[in-house]
Structure 1
C-alpha cells in the first residue's frame, strides 16, 4: 500500500534502475554464453593445466636428476663411460689413418 503513496517520479526512477540492472544481467549472460568467450575460457583453462603439468614434470625430472647425482655409482659410471667412448674414438681415428 505504500507504493500507492509514492510519487510518479520515484516510480519512474525505480523502473529505470530495474531496466539498467536487467540490461547488465542480459549482457553478462550473453558474454558467458558467447561461443568465442567460452572457447577463450576453455583455452585459458587448458593453458593453465598444461603449465601445471609441465611444472610437475620439471619437478620430477629435477628429483630424478638429484637422485642420480646422489648415487655412489654416478661418478665411476660416468668415468667408465667416458673412457669407453674415448677408447673407441681413438681406435676409429687410428684405423682411418692406416687406410
Structure 2
C-alpha cells in the first residue's frame, strides 16, 4: 500500500529537524573556544594543587640559578 504524500512530507520534515538539531549539537561540541576554555580550566585546576605548584617553583628556581651561574662565569 502506498503512503500518503503528506505523511512522507511530515517524515522528511522531522528528519530535517533531527538532522539540524544534531548538527547544532556537534558544532557546539567542536567549537574551538570550548576546547580553549576546557584547557584553561584544566590547567588552573592542576596549578591549584600545591604539589604541582611547588615543583614548578623549584624547577624555576633551579633554571634561574643555572642561567645566573652561566652568565657570571
**Two-structure CA RMSD over aligned residues (Å):** 2.0
Normalized against structure 2, the TM-score is what?
0.53
Give the Cα separation in 2 of the matches to 1:48 and 1:12: 51
Query: Of residues 40, 43, 46 in structure 2, which corresponds to 1:43?
Result: 40
**Greater Cα radius of gyration, structure 1 or 2:** 1
Runs of 4+ in 1 over 3 A off after TM superposition: 47-51
Give unmatched runs, 5+ long, in structure 1. Answer: 58-99
Q: Deviations over 1:5-59 (max 9, x none)?
A: 22111111111111111111111111122111111122233334445x24xx5xx
Instruction: Name the counterpart of 2:3.
Output: 6
Secondary structure, counterpart of 2:42 in structure 1: helix
2:23 paired residue among 22, 26, 32: 26
Higher relative contact order (CA 8 A, sep 6+): 2
* TM-score, scaled relative to structure 1: 0.42
CA, structure 1 residues 10+50, in 2 after alignment: closer, same or farther (shift >3 Å)?
Answer: farther
